[in-house]
Amino acid sequence: VQAVFRSNLSHLLELMGSGKESLIFMKKRAKRLTAQWAVAAQRLSQKLGAVQRDQKQILVHIGFLTEESGDVFSPRVLKGGPLGEMVQWADILAALYVLGHGLRITVSLKELQSNLGVPPGRGNCPLTVPLPFDLVYTDYHGLQQMKQHMGLSFKKYRCRIRVIDTFGTEPAYNHEEYATLHGYRTNWGYWNLNPKQFMTMFPHTPDNSFMGFVSEELNETEKQLVRGGKASNMAVVYGKEASIWKGKEKFLGILNKYMEIHGTVYYESQRPPEVPAFVKNHGLLPQPEFQQLLRKAKLFIGFGFPYEGPAPLEAIANGCVFLQSRFSPPHSSLNHEFFRGKPTSREVFSQHPYAENFIGKPHVWTVDYNNSDEFEAAIKAIMKTQVDPYLPYEYTCEGMLERIHAYIQHQDFCAAPGPAPPGTRAPQSPFVLAPNATHLEWAQNASVAPGAWPPAHSLRAWLAAAGRACTDACLDHGLICEPSFFPFLNSQDAFQKLQVPCDSTESEMNHLYPAFAQPGRECFLQKEPLLFSCAGSSTKYHRLCPCRDFRKGQVALCRDCL
């Protein structure tokens, strides 16, 4: 059956059920964004032309909202608790629905079991019950529940699962044996999935798939209104919980010299003591009213927490400048409670690295808050700068539809593993040294691996400087690391063509391989395909890095990826 774009979301709203505050929040959001989704669907449909799209049967099991995993989020929706996850799930549901797929949504174990066709109480039954879905979107909680209740089917069908995983899971933490042996200990991890099955909120490492969410896009009339309606001295503080204001008196004092400060901090009856009297606190606002507040404000200011949420993108989309603190040293699972136990060693250099690195000035200012002069100078400069509303394409409805369409169309983790293991040399090597002799590129006459996605001809490979991760090494060349290309590079031949002086070549399990170690002039190949990783570095190694191009504003997709 062909998938047909949908523009009416009322059936989706029915599918989403009711009761929980979290579901109510998500439904309101989906409803409010209906018109934007419809326009986006129309545009994407034109862009794709006559492309055949199969309708998939999809189960969306939102594990963190189940009572069985504690559902700590729903009771806090109206009390300043985190909303980012709900924003993302609402948008994923809307996107899948608008793309025209068959959807089932579950938020309890009972519903999950009945949809999986597992008789209740038969969780560990040894039979493999056929899975009536092509794809299952869930989270770490849901993954655990599926493992417990699917018996042997879990192993058979895990390649159909997609795990929505806000902060991401790096390959070293995903591989059970490797993580256990080398101390990549976490509360999550250890699932031995293809790392691309984990889907993140922001494009952290390309080892995972970037899922994202959307922010409302202003039309030209709205943009005009925003330009005219800005109060140049109005600031909104990022954060719904009073705790984030603790110890920020100094900054608030400086900011108060120049601007009128607004907050949206949840409170029960009295003003939270952390919020100074000179701040105009609106209390937690419904999402549309929060957007309206942002439209009037000049500045959206972060005090270091929450990390990497949707609100800064919304602020920038509504014409605010986002001011945030630089973290030095960077925060990570090694030194910060919030990230501890998360399956990543990513270093976070500011409150919102995406805003810093993908948007930047004039919309985003990242400064050292320990230096009051720098902080004050930034505020003064921001008051004088003129910015227009800005939303990166990948966070528009069309961008999200395009990306999810491409994933559904091309990502297949159930297919047998592709390229041969290292050591068995391909009869005809697909690479040549580029004319300037700095990197490898796909040979013009090489046959293109059929069905490979992203298409292999976009591959460029570099030997990175010692201590440089492939994520960064590729960005240095204006490209993005592409882990699915690692198998092409994992050979003596690639080192030879790059003229790397290997005295010896070993094949081992190490998430930094393939790599070259200068002392001893040793070359190392990767023995375990699940450990291919863009993330990770060690001063001991020059990593061999596969990079590719990407579409402007859509980093998840290469130019020929649609």
Secondary structure (3-state) at 463: strand
| φ and ψ of 68, to 5 deg | -60, -25
Regarding 201 and contact with ligand UDP (CB under 6 A), the answer is no
Q: What span, in angstroms and rounded, lies between the C-alpha atoms of 348 and 465?
A: 21
Give the other-Cβ count within 10 Å of 444's Cβ: 7
Taking the complex as a whole, how short is the minimal distance between the CB of residue 480 and ligand UDP, in angstroms?
25
How many chain residues bind ligand UDP (CB under 6 A)?
15
Q: Which is nearer to ligand UDP, 112 or 355 (CB)?
A: 355
Which residue, 140 or 550, has its beta carbon nearer to ligand UDP? 140
Output phi, psi for 504, to 5 deg: -145, 160
Burial status of residue 134 (CB atoms within 10 A of its CB: 0-12, 13-18, 19 or more): middle
284 binds ligand UDP (CB under 6 A): yes
How many beta carbons lie within 10 A of that of residue 52, not counting itself?
8
Stretch that binds ligand UDP, among 59-67, 137-145, 280-288, 373-381 (CB under 6 A): 280-288
285 binds ligand UDP (CB under 6 A): yes
CB of 233 vs ligand UDP, minimal distance in Å? 21
Question: Smallest distance, Å, CB 515 to ligand UDP?
Answer: 37
Interface residue with ligand UDP among 13, 30, 83, 400 (CB under 6 A) is: 83
In the complex, what is the shortest distance from the CB of residue 476 to ligand UDP, in angstroms, rounded to a whole number?
30
Q: Minimal distance in Å, beta carbon 239 to ligand UDP?
A: 7
Residues with Cβ < 8 Å from 152, sequence gap 6 or more?
A: 126, 127, 128
Strand partners, 209: 199
Q: How far is the CB of 288 from ligand UDP (least distance, A)?
A: 8
DSSP string, 87-115: HHHHHHHHHHHHTT-EEEEE-SHHHHHHH
Torsion sign, CA atoms 376, 379, 384, 386: positive
Binder of ligand UDP out of 6, 57, 84, 258 (CB under 6 A):
84
Positive or negative, the CA dihedral 449, 451, 455, 459 is negative
Q: Are 182 and 190 in contact (CB under 8 A)?
A: no
Q: Which is nearer to ligand UDP, 93 or 311 (CB)?
A: 311
Residue with token string 């395009």:
402
Binding ligand UDP (rule: CB under 6 A), the pick from 3, 43, 68, 82 is 82
Contact 535, 344 (CB under 8 A): yes
Of 87 and 545, which CB lies nearer to ligand UDP in the complex structure?
87
Smallest separation (angstroms) from ligand UDP to the CB of 318: 10
Q: Residue 85 or residue 549: which is nearer to ligand UDP going by CB?
A: 85
Cα–Cα distances (Å) from 489 to 64, 133, 450, in that order, read: 39, 35, 17
> Tokens at residue 461, please?
């490979």
Encoded one letter per residue, x for contact with ligand UDP by CB under 6 A and - for no contact, window 299-338 reads -------x--xxx--x------------------------
Q: Could you say which of 57, 287, 429, 505 contacts ligand UDP (CB under 6 A)?
A: 287
What is the distance between the alpha carbons of residues 515 and 513, in angstroms, rounded to a whole number? Answer: 5
The half-sphere exposure of 514 on its side-chain side, counting CA atoms within 13 A, is 28
237 binding ligand UDP? (CB under 6 A): no
For residues 29 and 386, the answer to whether their CB atoms sit within 8 Å is no
Taking the least distance from each CB to ligand UDP, the nearer of 203 and 419 is 203
Contact pattern for ligand UDP over residues 481 through 520, marking x by CB under 6 A? ----------------------------------------
Lookup result for tokens 């919304």: 314
Closest to ligand UDP by CB, 146 vs 301, is 301
Rounded to whole angstroms, the Cα distance separating 255 from 72 reads 35
* Under rule CB under 6 A, residue 87 binds ligand UDP: yes
Nearer of residues 290 and 524 to ligand UDP, judged by Cβ: 290
Instruction: Single out the residue of 101, 160, 240, 326 in contact with ligand UDP (rule: CB under 6 A).
Output: 240
Q: Minimum distance between the CB of residue 365 and ligand UDP, rounded to whole angstroms?
A: 18
| Closest residue by Cα to residue 242 from 78, 71, 79, 75 | 79
Closest to ligand UDP by CB, 306 or 422:
306
Give the tokens for residue 307.
């990390």
Which part of the chain contacts ligand UDP (CB under 6 A), choosing from 152-160, 285-293, 319-327, 357-365?
285-293
Least distance from ligand UDP to the Cβ atom of residue 269, Å: 18
Nearest-approach distance from CB 106 to ligand UDP, in angstroms: 22
Cα separation, 338 vs 340, whole angstroms = 6
Site for ligand UDP contains 24 (CB under 6 A) = no
Rank residues 83 and 364 by Cβ distance to ligand UDP and give the closer one. Answer: 83
The string over 177-208, giving b where at least 16 C-beta atoms fall within 10 Å of a residue's C-beta and e elsewhere, is ebbeeeebebebbbbebbbbbbbbbbbbbbbb
* Residue 287 or 496 with smaller CB distance to ligand UDP: 287
Residue number with CB closer to ligand UDP (115 or 287): 287
Cα–Cα distance, 319 to 363 (Å, whole number)? 8
The CB-of-246 to ligand UDP minimum distance in angstroms stands at 16
Q: Which of 264, 491, 510, 554 binds ligand UDP (CB under 6 A)?
A: 264
**Can residue 22 be called a binding residue for ligand UDP (CB under 6 A)?**
no
The Cα–Cα gap between 410 and 471 comes to 22
- For residue 290, the 8-state DSSP code is H
Q: Given the rule CB under 6 A, which residues bind ligand UDP?
A: 82-84, 87, 240, 264, 284-285, 287, 290, 306, 309-311, 314
